[in-house]
Structures are given as structure tokens and as C-alpha cells.
Structure 1
């Protein structure tokens, strides 16, 4: 694979990364608890992308393309997971409503491990990522080079680009929160991001049989 081809693929990955989606809103949500939480979610998403690349490289991803039922199952599970993340976001912030300062009984911050797993599972349970590797990645593979190693190289590029963008987003959001120093603003943003996750999850479930 030529440098030009790899650069073109990286550019496409960047365009897809900056397009708002579940990973974006997850990163924003966890970044409100601190940059390291958002970074953990970003890394989890990147790892999930790499796992999809490995799955497709091993030929297992083709099952999603050929089996409508398998695609629907993954889509439904992914939608339910997004709903879970969104609803728990509302519940976690519910106890702090009406107060501008965190009371002693305020919800605790999520762990970095929880943030990493959230990013990982959100990506792994998104069949569109698998279809990306099935439909788009082969277009960047020269004839006769569609082997495990070549697909994993592109998967690594996709994961690194996604992580780089999401880490930048996480640091920016975390710094903005520190600068504002307004818990009410933080709660509002988290509620919005949680609400978007709920809407995304509901949309995925509504279109599961489409």
C-alpha cells in the first residue's frame, strides 16, 4: 500500500470521526467528569474499531453482511446499550438537580474503567463499523493484498485517527468545564448528551428491521 493510499484512507477516517455519533456523545459525557474519563472512552472506542477490523479480517464480519438476523441482533443490542447509557446518565445526575454545588449525596464520578468499557462496547455493538470495514476498507486495498495484515493496518489507522480526534474533544470539553466552573452547566450538557444517547438508541431500535 502506498503512502498516498494510506493518507487518503486516514483523511476519510477523520471525516467520519468528526461526524457526531454515539462515540462523540459518549466522549463528551465522560469528559464532564474529567479529561481522563473522556480519554478512556476515546481509547475504548479505538480498541473497539480495531476489534471490528480483526473480526472482518478473519472473515467473521461477513456474517453481518449475509445474515439479516445477525445484523438485527447486533443492532438491537447496540441500541439497548445506548439507551442504558443515556438513562443511567439521567439517573446519575438526577440527585443533583436543583443545586448549583455538589451536595454530599451527589452521584459519584464514573471510573475510568467504566468509561473505557462504555467506549469499547458502544463501538463493538455498532454494526455500522463492521460494515465500514466490509464495504469501504477493500476499496483501499490493492488487488491481491486483502490479507489479515493489510486490513489490520487500515484498522489501526482508523482506530488511531478516532482516538486522536476524540482525545482532542475530551481535553477541550474538560478544559471548558473547568473554565466555566458552573456545575449547572455541566449537568445541562450531560443531560443533553444523555438525551442524545437515548434518542440514538431509540432510533437504532426503530430501524433495526429496516
Structure 2
């Protein structure tokens, strides 16, 4: 791999990382109460990307590309999981509203951050059940390699996952700070509703396209 190809690939990864996707909205959803769950979700998603890089480097993803049934099944599972996360987020928000009754000044109870492990698992599973990640690696990575090898493919996959992780960690930190600065329960609740709704919509769209 030449330096020019490497720089081109890094530039492509940066452009892709700033384009919102399911993982970005997932990180955003977990960051409203605290940055740490959002960061955990970002790390989980990046690890899922590394797993896909290994799968592609081993050539297994080529089988997925050739099997329409396997592709649709994986996509359907991923879509249903995103839908589940969106619905659960809306249910949790409703429970928080009921449990933490607002005082007469209209101040709602502080939202409870999601468990770190749950956020990490959500990011990991969401990425693992997104076959587009594997197919992207399969189609794009060889274009930036002078010779397609296991080590070279894995290295590019690690670079892409690392850049994506940095972007999502920044999203988590900025989102948590922005919500903390607002200090308005109505605004915070609306943001949580929107992010949960987007996750559910992405899940429905993914599952529908798979079916």
C-alpha cells in the first residue's frame, strides 16, 4: 500500500464518519444522560467493525455477498434489533417521567444513565448485525491495496474502525455537554424521543428492505 493510497483511504474514512448512520444515532441516544454510556457504545461499534474486518480479511464476507438469504436474514435481525432499541428507549423515557415526578418549578428528575455494559453490547451487536459494514469492507478495501492480503485488509479495517470510534466518541462527549448546558427537561426529553424514534425508524426501514 502506497502512502498516497493510505492518505486517500483515511480521507474517505473521515468523510464517511461524519455521515450519520445507525451507530451514530445509537451513540447519541446513550449520551444524553452521561457521556460514558455513549463512549461505551462507540467502542462497542468500533469493535464490531474490527470483527467485520477480520471476517472480510478471511474471505468469509464473500460468501455473505453470494448468499441473498443469509444477507437478508442478517439484515432483518439487525433491523429488528434497532427497532427494539428504539422502542425500549421510548419505554424507558416514559418510566423515568412517571418515576421521577416533576416538582412545582417544572424540573424533572435527572435521567439515569444506561449501564456501561448494556451500551457497549448495543453498539457491538448493532454493528455485527449490519451486513453493509462487511460488504463495504469487501468492496472498498481492496481498492486501496496494491496487494490484497489478510494483514493489509485487517490494517485498513482497523484504521476505519479507529476513525469511526473517534468520531462517535466526540459525538458522545458533545451531546452530553450540550444537553447539560441546556438544563431544560422538555428539550432533553424531546431529544431523547427524536433519537429513539430515529433508531426505531432505521430498524423498520432495514427490516422492511430485508423482507
TM-score (norm. length: structure 1)? 0.93
Deviations 1:48-92 (A, max 9, x none): 111000001111111111000000010000000000100000000
* Contact kept in structure 2, 1:92 and 1:107, CA below 8 Å: no
Correspondence 1:1-210 to 2 at 5 A: 1-97=1-97, 99=102, 100-103=106-109, 108-142=112-146, 145-209=147-211
TM-score (norm. length: structure 2)? 0.92
Superposition RMSD on alpha carbons, in Å?
Answer: 1.5
* Contact kept in structure 2, 1:96 and 1:102, CA below 8 Å: no
* Distance in 2 of aligned mates of 1:4 and 1:190: 42
Q: Which structure 2 segments of 5+ residues have no match?
A: none
* Distance in 1 of aligned mates of 2:33 and 2:2: 41
Residues paired across the two proteins, number: 205
Deviations 1:85-124 (A, max 9, x none): 0000000001234845445xx8743111111111111111
